[in-house]
A and B are shown apart, each in its own frame.
Chain A
Amino acid sequence: MTSGAAGRPRLALAGALGLLAGAGLLGILVGGVHLSLPALWSGAGAEGEAARLVASIRLPRVALAALVGAALSLSGAAMQALLKNPLADPFLLGTSGGAAAGAALASLAGISPLLSPAAAFAGAAASSVAVAALARRGGRLDLQRLLLSGLIANAFFSALLLGVFSVASASAARTMLFWMMGSLADASFGKVVALLPWAAAGAAVLLLYAARLNLLAVGEDSAAALGVDTERAKRQVFVAASLLTGAAVAFAGIIGFVGLLVPHAVRAVAGNDQRRLLPICAVSGAALLVAADALSRAVFAPAELPIGAVTATVGAPLFAWMLLREP
């Protein structure tokens, strides 16, 4: 029990960094064409050049996977602490439904697919604002109502999505499917650069609130009595977590299980001090998604599996196993 409550954050951070390095290497080497490390590193002539070319194409995809994985894990960990619920996940609060609906409506309206991340982001923002407004009661953000409002938003948006799906053209339907299953196939450095500031801003706010999240995880009243402006803290954390989720969904679609699985696993090793948990979650989430993406390209190469299917296929049994071995 002792190690369960206090944890070993240094070990966990070292492990996560190691995993991220390994996953990054895997992400560059495997895929439709498998590369060898020597050819990539010191290969001369056509073989080495080809290897470096393939690697340079894969690099933005690895970077995007890392950013998206980090954003989803951070968002999940923060929502779990805020809602005092280990089952909270970034997609629980309606952000993802809003994003998918935004992208779907844009493609239905014939707006260029280049703008669909912006449409998805707008949908995520609109949904988050609506959910927060619905959850307000007597001037306070009621956390129980927040969960229910998220549920309502997701139900509404998935109905909307199905409606759009049934009348959409083949190409629009394909775009929507991309959002619903998650994909990193269209990764580019441009997308990485576009995602980075949003992800960094969300992460910075959450890290700033890490110590207060520790107090909130014991209880709202308890935190307020220790001097935390709880209304402000709840609002800021909700906005930052929604920002991270919305940005991730805008560029990669809905990728489930990462935000649920990673914080749970990291907590088991590193303990529940948010000041350490959050950075370790970011690194571990990045590693997990990079590895899952490599897997999605390698298993049925040259065909690709949808990344959302991979994370759920790997994540669900892993989660079940963790659940079973808990005391």
Chain B
Amino acid sequence: MSPDASSGTPRIETRGLRALYGRTEALSGLDARIPAGEIVAILGENGSGKSTLLKVLARIRPPSGGEILLDGAPLLSQPRRETARRVAYVPQSVELVFPIRALDLVLQGRAPHARGFSADSPEDRARALDAMKACDVLDLAERDASALSGGETRRVFLARAVAQEAEIWLLDEPTAGLDPRHRLEFLDVLRRRHLESRRTVLLVTHEVDLAARIADGVLLLRRGRTLASGPPDAVLTVDNLRRAFDVEFREGPAGLQAAALPDRPPVVR
């Protein structure tokens, strides 16, 4: 995060945020400041509260305590639709039981703006198609979204977030389960959209190297609290990572990586 992040009003600020996941506490007093216009990667071991944080910010789950400020104003006292116009959520994976045209899925991003959630005016359609073009999925518009590949689906949901015209995008493990090509395609589209529109992006990931490469800031979580936050270089240290993940990390060819697996022994001819 930029050095002056602490001076201005952050886009999102949480104070002592608490939330339950089932009966266990997933967030236990989380303080975080997310500056506007940056890509912030949220890292932490499974159960550290990453996804719960996104769900609470998207108002999918209510917090059990603490405060969330959006541009300095309390988020939870806003009407839900108002939040949905400002915060877009890209789910990790969605099981589509019924067929739905990819364009109709992107049109759902217009629902918070439409009367009675019923978005299909010509203007809505135009914006949805623009968003699909921007995310390289225009050619999939008429296809059944339940039959798309994982990578295509993620980009269609990103297009839905673009069509939503929210200033904040929350992405839950957007590259999980994607092969290298689809992963690169997704990140390329995300970076281009971000450079163009300067949205504030929060993305949950398990990939330390990804965080180091595309994020402006990193929020490292441990047991529902902030362990460290700031620019990737400052946060992603061997020491911090050991504390966050309980494994040794070391410098490898692709950046920092877990060192638990021994190197492959040299091949003896």
| A residues lining the B interface (CB < 8 Å) | 1-2, 4-6, 81, 84-86, 138, 208, 210-212, 214-215, 217-222, 224-229, 267, 271-273, 275
Nearest chain A CB to B248 CB, angstrom units: 35
Contacts A227-B85, A229-B80; A5 near B99 (Cβ below 8 A): yes
The reply to whether A215 and B58 form a contact with Cβ atoms under 8 Å apart is no
Contact assessment for B91 and A219 in the assembled complex, using a CB-CB cutoff below 8 Å: yes
What is the CA–CA distance of A180 and B109 in the complex, to the nearest angstrom? 45
List 11 interface pairs A-B (beta carbons < 8 Å), by A numbering.
A1-B99, A2-B101, A5-B99, A86-B97, A218-B94, A219-B95, A221-B55, A222-B94, A227-B80, A229-B80, A272-B98
Nearest-CB distance from A317 to chain B (Å)?
A: 24
Q: Which residues of A contact B83 (CB under 8 A)?
A: 227
Which B129-153 residues sit within 8 Å CB-CB of chain A? 142-147
Residue among B87, B98, B108 facing the most chain A CB atoms (10 A cut-off): B98
Give the chain B neighbours of A2 by CB distance below 8 A: 101, 142-144
Cα–Cα, bound, A138→B143 (Å): 38
Consensus secondary structure, chain B interface: mixed
Given contacts A2-B143, A5-B144, A275-B118, contact A226 B98 (CB under 8 A): no
Residues of B in contact with A (beta carbons under 8 Å apart): 20, 22-23, 55, 58-60, 79-85, 87-89, 91, 94-102, 104-105, 108-109, 111-112, 114, 116-119, 142-147, 164, 170
Q: Is the CB of A272 within 8 A of B100?
A: yes
Residues of B within 8 A of A220 (CB): 60
Contact of B143 among A5, A85, A211, A275 (CB under 8 A): A5
Q: Which residues of A contact B170 (CB under 8 A)?
A: 225
Contacts of A267 in B (CB 8 A): 98
Interface contact A1-B143, CB-CB below 8 Å: yes
Q: How far is the CA of A228 from the CA of B146 in the complex (A)?
A: 22
Question: A217 contacts which chain B residues (CB < 8 A)?
Answer: 97-98, 100
With A218-B105, A219-B91, A272-B99 known as contacts, the answer to whether A225 contacts B60 (CB < 8 A) is yes
Known contacts being A86-B98, A217-B98, is A227 close to B143, with CB within 8 Å?
no
Residue in contact with A228 in the complex, picked from B88, B89, B117, CB distance below 8 Å: B117
A1-B144, A221-B58, A222-B89 provided; 20 other pairs, C-beta below 8 A? A5-B99, A5-B100, A86-B97, A138-B22, A217-B98, A219-B94, A222-B94, A224-B59, A225-B59, A225-B91, A226-B84, A226-B108, A226-B117, A227-B84, A227-B85, A227-B112, A271-B99, A272-B98, A272-B100, A273-B104
Q: Kindly list chain A residues whose C-beta atoms are within 8 Å of the C-beta of B58.
A: 221, 224-225
3 closest A-B pairs by beta carbon, nearest first, are A227-B84, A225-B89, A227-B81
- Which residues on A sit within 8 Å (CB–CB) of B102? 5
